[in-house]
Structure 1
């Protein structure tokens, strides 16, 4: 897969998160029933959330298939907007990235936008800003719901206690931990400096 097509795939990931009907059917975590009643981090503050986050676990998503070394860097753009710079290594070993922006639309919820793609809601269930962030999205279509989840950490190699704290936010919101898969993070990853 070329760098350009991988970037398109990452941008389409944003569409998947958004709940758009066409993109949603391409996700992998689909179940009968409704989305859980979640609680976002009510006192969320975007300023201490800035910086680098490493993806430690995620629900399978077709457009992230085979990707590892996934991380995101959030930077202040001013006027309440944050630059979102996502990077990953593809299953072919290529580095890929995409840049967008986000802003808080309600407590604990950010609207993430990548040019030309459907905006996505990013629900921060919990974060301590220094160790972990538990991020979720779910939407319903008919009798089914599609859900996406990511456990992010500040450290490339976090402790078991940090992973447990991040996972607790999903448990507290009735989100299935069995659907998580570990994302490889290693010394050979092509991170931005």
Structure 2
């Protein structure tokens, strides 16, 4: 994946649409972030709806994105992501995750290199602010999500979710809203 990111970084002069398909690529260093130090995976289990994200290749054109986390035992969690493709077709992928440091999970899907999932903040009942950044030379590739237990968030709770990114010097202006609605094919 690092090789692919390095190759893609060479094309920073390419169209903005291409860049957003990969993840948010920009010059600069990944921020020094602070994860939720008392993160507990047990109350994190259950369904999360994606409300906002940085656009990235593996979610390009998707809406109705949500994840269901279930206990697999022995410290592992099943990650079942579902979404709707641009053509209306439902899609899903199942992987697993485990905590590797406070607020940091290693997430692995079949056929993919494991990735880190940094929980910056969560109250477990309403929101979760999640981030990852990969450094390749002078370029960084960022991934970020605002997740919710419901299809919407009250303003005060949404502000708290955003504050986790602000506190970690992560750009809020890059977020794109993910459509969630009654017509979504939730599993």
Same fold (TM over 0.5): yes
**Aligned to 1:125, what secondary structure does the other structure show?**
strand
Shift of 1:154: 0.5
**Aligned to 2:79, what secondary structure does the other structure show?**
strand
Contact 1:104 1:110 in 2 (8 A): yes
Does residue 128 in structure 1 map to residue 123 in structure 2? yes
Q: Output the TM-score relative to the length of structure 1.
A: 0.87
Partner of residue 163, structure 1:
158
Structure 1: which 5+ residue stretches go unaligned? 1-18
Runs of 4+ in 1 over 4 A off after TM superposition: none
Shift of 1:46: 0.2
Q: How many residues align?
A: 174
Which residue, out of 169, 175, 183, partners 1:180? 175
Output the CA distance in 2 between the equivalents of 1:63 and 1:100: 14
1:37-76 equivalences under 5 Å are 37-76=32-71
Shift of 1:116: 2.1
Cα deviation, 1:89-143, whole Å, max 9, x if unaligned, reads 0000000000000000000000001122100100000000001000000011111
Name the CA shift for 1:96/1:23 in 2 (closer, same or farther; >3 Å): farther
Q: Output the TM-score relative to the length of structure 2.
A: 0.90
Output the CA distance in 2 between the equivalents of 1:66 and 1:53: 19
**Aligned to 1:39, what secondary structure does the other structure show?**
coil
Please report the RMSD computed on the Cα atoms of aligned residues, expressed in angstroms.
1.2
Structure 2: which 5+ residue stretches go unaligned? 9-20
